[in-house]
Amino acid sequence: MRLKGILWILTLAWATIIFSFSAQTAENSSALSSSFTYKIIEKIPCVRLLPKIQQEKLESFVHNIVRKTAHFCLYAVLGLLVFLLCKSYGYIFLKAMWISLLSCALYAFSDEIHQLFSDGRSCQVTDVLLDTTGAFCGIVCGRGIISLLKKWHKKAS
């Protein structure tokens, strides 16, 4: 299968993964991120020495970081994939970047709207901004990957 086909499949699969996370109820979404939160908290030995109220505040803080990091990373991968897909069609960097960034921003916006239809979930503009920032970082990584591949290709020639 050609590169474009593989990139299309990966991009659509990743968008589907994001969609499925947004389709979760608030309870299921929170349970998933809480499982990561508790794994992180367990690694900090001094947490058990804190008063209960401080432990709860720390857990809430870490839980928020876990959720926001998930948003950022999911869209960083999407940005990377969309950018590589655009580049596979021969677009110059700026055109590929803008198409990728706008596509990911629109997907993030539609994804937040989608969450309104999931029980207990809400739509947050800050998440759209965070997702778009993640996508931009993925695009920058894509640019770096392409540059490295070009350098390696030149050395091999």
Answer yes or no: is pLDDT of 78 > 70.
yes
pLDDT value, residue 12:
98
Q: Is 92 helix (H, G, I), strand (E, B) or coil?
A: coil
pLDDT value, residue 1:
64
- Distance in angstroms (rounded) separating the CA atoms of residues 46 and 55: 10
Answer yes or no: is pLDDT of 87 > 80.
yes
Report pLDDT digits (tens) over 10-45: 999 999 999 999 999 999 999 999 998 988 888 888
- Distance in angstroms (rounded) separating the CA atoms of residues 35 and 74: 18
pLDDT band at residue 49 under the 50/70/90 scheme: confident
Answer yes or no: is pLDDT of 122 > 80.
yes
- Distance in angstroms (rounded) separating the CA atoms of residues 76 and 72: 6
In this prediction, what percent of the chain has a pLDDT beyond 90? 78
**CB distance 139 to 83 below 8 Å:** yes
Answer yes or no: is pLDDT of 8 > 80.
yes
Name residue 42's amino acid.
E
Angle between helices 52-88 and 26-42 (to 10 degrees): 110
